Chains A and B, each alone.
Chain A
Amino acid sequence: MSGTFIGMPAFPQAARASVHDATLRGNLRHATHTIRGKREQAVAEVADWAELREAGKRIKDHVLRHLDRYLVQLEESVTAAGGVVHWAADAEEANRIVARLVKETGEREVVKVKSMATQEIGLNEALQAEGIRAYETDLAELIVQLGRDRPSHILVPAIHRNRGEIRDIFTREMGEWGRPAPEGLTDSPAELAEAARLHLREKFLRAKVGISGANFMVAETGTLVVVESEGNGRMCLTLPETLISVVGIEKTVPSWRDLEVFLQTLPRSSTAERMNPYTSMWTGTRDEDGPRAFHLVLLDNGRTDTLADEVGRQALRCIRCSACLNVCPVYERAGGHAYGSVYPGPIGAILSPQLRGTRSEIDASLPYASSLCGACYEVCPVAIDIPEVLVHLRERVVEGGPVIREGNKVVLRPAKGHAAERAAMRAARWALTRPGALRTAQRLASRTRRLRPRTLPGPGRAWSGTRDLPPVPPEPFRDWWQRTRGGKDEAK
């Protein structure tokens, strides 16, 4: 069973170990740099990328603006096509619904397509508590599950593992779960993929219940879309008799036509392919093709709370491509586990504190897990301004204020540990609105510049521990400007 994120320390503590792990940093650097160059190429191939990005953003904004209407329409379409729609306000309710549906089939095991939503709600652990075994079938999820590990990337949850480590995990663990790894397995990626194929084959062929998420749900037609590469998705979506899909409510798009935007932007952003190997689309159930029973569990779990935040709600546009992780300098060095959530990287830093609130140490620290360089915004195929939301969430952590939690308005208290920062900001505001006082202070600082300390005292010590204090100029800028008329009379 994969580990959990409960009780995670704040980001800086969690990252401290990983930045000193040379293997991890090597693995991450190799993987993210490989994909970065390829993504750029794949995006450059389409001349209208900017227009596609804008359209994707506007479709998602429109859906979110009218989410109630589109959810009701989606429910009608799915029901009319033979599906059954369930609504889950939180993780616990979603897990309860899925466990009940599995038990009603009389089965004790399920096969799973990779799904962020089911990771988020901890479905595997919940099913295990009910005596149901869930088999992950995506290669990277399999590596994580067999290694009793935690996911560290949205698209490639085992990105922190290199081929040698994967070989060791397969050789050691596969026998525990079913067909053991072939004798003499090497670390060639093709052989590792073959080992996964053999190991999972028997599970696919006998599976009676499949569990998935979905990349998109079309309100107009009731169609669900799963985008994948390996074929494990197709196996889980078509071979079992019962299919249960757990999907976040924000995955809705209004019309069939909207897929023409996302089916162009998602593959290029995520795996840097013109098109991913397999995309499955299904509408309810179909006689004699695929599952006879289809259940759709619509998941809130903090999404409506996020929707209530006028700056933060743009995070709900996310299509989980993971391009922002691959370009992030912080993610590349800290690794995914430090984010303490199934959503790591820049998008995780704005999504987790909104879905879960900022009360825990890790969630309150996530908005700071960024240098605000803006690379994430640049590559985002739905133009989420991640730096803007990060700054907004920092403000919320420091200042406190009203937020929505589980549908109710609560007032957050200002976070502890930011007292010095708040005092500094208050002092800055006071000085910057009083030009006379500012001038006096600047001149005093210039005259005493030889006395400048190397490190700050008191609460400033941590800040200056890793930074040089900026040098104080011999003359304040405004004095210099007035004396030389902006540099024109520099000779004077």
Chain B
Amino acid sequence: MSSRERILGRVRRALADVPGDDTPYEQAVPRGYLREHGERSTEETVELLAENLADYRALVHRTDAGGLAGTVAALLHRRGATSVVVPPGLDESWLAETDVRRVVDRAEQTPGELDRVDSVVTACAVAVAETGTIVLDGSPDQGRRRITLIPDHHICVVRVPGQVVSSVPQALERLDPVRPLTWISGPSATSDIELDRVEGVHGPRTLEVVLVTGLPSGTDGS
């Protein structure tokens, strides 16, 4: 007998005492919890996102469509970055005002090569206000997962208000589980020393989030 059959057989015997239960899954779980916590206007939701991002030590910047390229250029300059990796589908105009050397994200790159790049600029799939979270889904404007992991400085552009949702349940509704997803809430951190939070371990130690108005958000096509 294979272990598969053995385990499934044990499960069935273990449950032999339980009375039959034909409640369909949809009715088996009471979903009385909230879809979002509190009522907020669109502006307030964006405000909450900014607050919660900052609370977990992300650096938050705000601009509009016209100021985006200037903001990105200034952030790279302030960082002293000499190279920046960009996902293949990132809007060219976002980097129009910087002359920092661009490294295009390619499959053949080794992790070691990426380790020598200073910064990365990406878009995102959705941002969650209540938790201060940005989610990347590997779309062409976000690139492979590793490019937002190895460089020590991540600039993530969130199109507000279109890409911002209030809560975790609303974020999951917008996401496609088939895509590789990375939920990011602040820079890398650890609680492993005396259960106290310290920022900065293996992921990017600096996370800058640019909230930009006046850009159509890719995900809902608006």
Residues of A within 8 A of B (CB): 27, 30-32, 34-35, 45-48, 51-52, 54-55, 58-59, 62, 65-68, 71-72, 81, 87-89, 93, 137-140, 143, 155-156, 158-159, 162-163, 166, 189-190, 192-194, 196-197, 200-201, 204-206, 218, 221, 223, 229-232, 234-235, 238-239, 249, 254-261, 263-264, 271, 273-283, 286, 288-290, 298, 300, 304-305, 307-308, 310, 313, 326, 404, 407
A49 (CB) vs chain B CBs: closest residue:
B33
B145 CB contact (under 8 Å) in A52, A140, A238 = A238
Considering only residues 125-147 of chain B, those with a C-beta below 8 Å from chain A are 128, 130-133, 138, 144-146
The distance in angstroms between the C-alpha atoms of A89 and B5, with both chains bound, is: 10
Closest to B9 in A: A407
Most chain B CB atoms below 10 A, which of A143, A189, A218: A189
Given A189-B193, A204-B111; A407-B10 close (CB under 8 Å) = yes
Contact for A221 among B28, B130, B177, B183, CB less than 8 A: B177
B185 close to chain A: CB less than 8 A: yes
At the interface, yes or no: B202 with Cβ under 8 Å from chain A? yes
Beyond A48-B32, A51-B34, A68-B15, 4 extra complex contacts between A and B, CB < 8 Å: A230-B203, A231-B203, A286-B179, A407-B9
A-contact 0/1 string along B172-197, CB 8 Å cutoff: 10000111111111111111111111
Asked if A54 and B30 sit within 8 Å, CB to CB, the answer is: yes
A140 to B195 CA separation, bound complex (whole angstroms) = 10
Chain B interface size, as a band, is 35 or more
Task: Kindly specify which of B17-25, B39-47, B68-76, B92-100 makes contact with the partner chain.
Answer: B17-25
The smallest beta-carbon distance between A335 and chain B, in angstroms, is: 14
CB distance from B47 to the nearest CB of A (A): 16
Query: How close is A259's CB to chain B, nearest CB, in angstroms?
Result: 6
Partner of A304, one of B11, B169, B187, B201: B11
A62 near B25: Cβ-Cβ < 8 Å? yes
Q: Which residues of B contact A313 (CB under 8 A)?
A: 14
18 inter-chain pairs at a CB distance below 8 angstroms, sorted by A residue, are: A46-B37, A47-B34, A52-B33, A62-B28, A71-B11, A162-B194, A193-B190, A205-B150, A230-B189, A230-B201, A275-B128, A275-B133, A277-B186, A277-B189, A279-B182, A281-B183, A404-B10, A407-B9
CA distance in complex: A72, B18 (Å): 20
Residues of A within 8 A of B168 (CB): 260, 263-264, 275
* Minimal Cβ-Cβ distance residue in B for A231: B203
Contacts A59-B29, A260-B168; is A231 near B193 (CB within 8 Å)?
no
- In the bound assembly, the distance between CA atoms of A158 and B191 in angstroms comes to 11
- Min CB distance B202 to A, Å, is 4
Q: Collect the chain B residues with CB atoms within 8 Å of residue A201's CB.
A: 115, 202
Say whether B200 contacts A281, CB under 8 Å: no
Partner pick for A139 among B110, B138, B149, B190, CB 8 A cutoff: B190
Q: How far is the CA of A260 from the CA of B4 in the complex (A)?
A: 30
- Complex partner residue of A407 from B13, B130, B145, B203, CB under 8 angstroms: B13
Closest chain-A Cβ to B137's Cβ sits at a distance in Å of: 9
CB within 8 Å for A189 and B194 given contacts A231-B203, A289-B180: yes
Among B17, B177, B195, the residue within 8 A (CB) of A159 is B195
Q: By the criterion CB–CB under 8 Å, are A308 and B196 in contact?
A: no
The answer to the question of B112 belonging to the interface, with a C-beta cut-off of 8 Å to chain A, is: yes
Taking CB atoms, residues of chain B closer than 8 Å to A81 are: 178
The residue from A46, A163, A281 contacting B181, defined by CB atoms under 8 A apart: A281
Sorted from nearest, which 7 A-B pairs have the closest CB atoms?
Answer: A231-B203, A231-B202, A304-B10, A308-B14, A230-B201, A275-B131, A279-B183
A280 touches B8 (CB 8 A): no
Q: Is B78 in the interface zone, CB < 8 Å from A?
A: no
Instruction: Give Cα A52 to B184, complex, Å.
Output: 22
Given contacts A140-B192, A289-B144, A289-B145, are A304 and B7 in contact (CB under 8 A)?
A: yes
Interchain nearest-CB distance for A89 vs B (Å): 5
Q: How far is the CA of A239 from the CA of B12 in the complex (A)?
A: 39
CA distance in complex: A67, B7 (Å):
10
Q: Which residues of A contact B13 (CB under 8 A)?
A: 308, 404, 407
Q: Are A232 and B201 in contact (CB under 8 A)?
A: yes
Q: Quick check: B182 and A197 within 8 Å, CB to CB?
A: no
Central interface residue in A45, A275, A282, by most chain B CB within 10 Å: A275
A234 contacts B145, C-beta separation under 8 Å: yes
The complex places the Cα of A231 from the Cα of B204 at a distance, in Å, of: 8
Asked whether B28 lies within 8 Å of A58 as measured between CB atoms, the reply is: yes
| Beta-carbon contact of A281 and B29 below 8 Å | no
Q: Which residues of B contact A249 (CB under 8 A)?
A: 7, 11
Q: For residue A286, which residue of chain B has the nearest CB?
A: B180
Known: A221-B177, A407-B6, A407-B13. A35 touches B195 (CB 8 A): yes
CB distance from A44 to the nearest CB of B (A): 12
Assess the A31–B144 pair: CB atoms within 8 A. Answer: no
Chain B positions within 8 Å of A139 at CB level: 190, 192-193, 201
The answer to whether A32 touches B25 (Cβ under 8 A) is no
Closest to B137 in A: A281
Give bound CA distance, A137 to B201, whole Å: 11
Verify B11–A307 contact, CB threshold 8 A: yes
Q: Are B177 and A283 in contact (CB under 8 A)?
A: yes
Contact (Cβ within 8 A) B4 A87: yes
B2 at the interface (CB under 8 A from A): yes
For the complex, what is the distance from the CA of A65 to the CA of B201, rounded to whole Å? Answer: 40
Complex Cα distance, B9 from A404, in Å, reads 13
Given the contacts A52-B33, A204-B202, A259-B172, A290 and B145 also touching, CB distance less than 8 Å: yes
Q: How far is the CA of A480 from the CA of B201 in the complex (A)?
A: 68
CA–CA, A278 and B8, complex, Å? 33
Complex-state Cα separation, A305 to B9, whole angstroms:
12
Nearest residue (CB) in B for A53 is B33
Residues of A within 8 A of B23 (CB): 62
Pick from A31, A89, A143, A193: contact of B198, CB below 8 A: A193
Given the complex of chains A and B, what is the CA–CA distance between A288 and B128 in angstroms?
A: 27
Of the candidates A34, A260, A274, A281, the one whose C-beta lies within 8 Å of that of B169 is A260
User: Once the chains are docked, how many angstroms separate the CA of A156 from the CA of B192?
Assistant: 5
Shortest beta-carbon distance from B9 to chain A in Å? 7
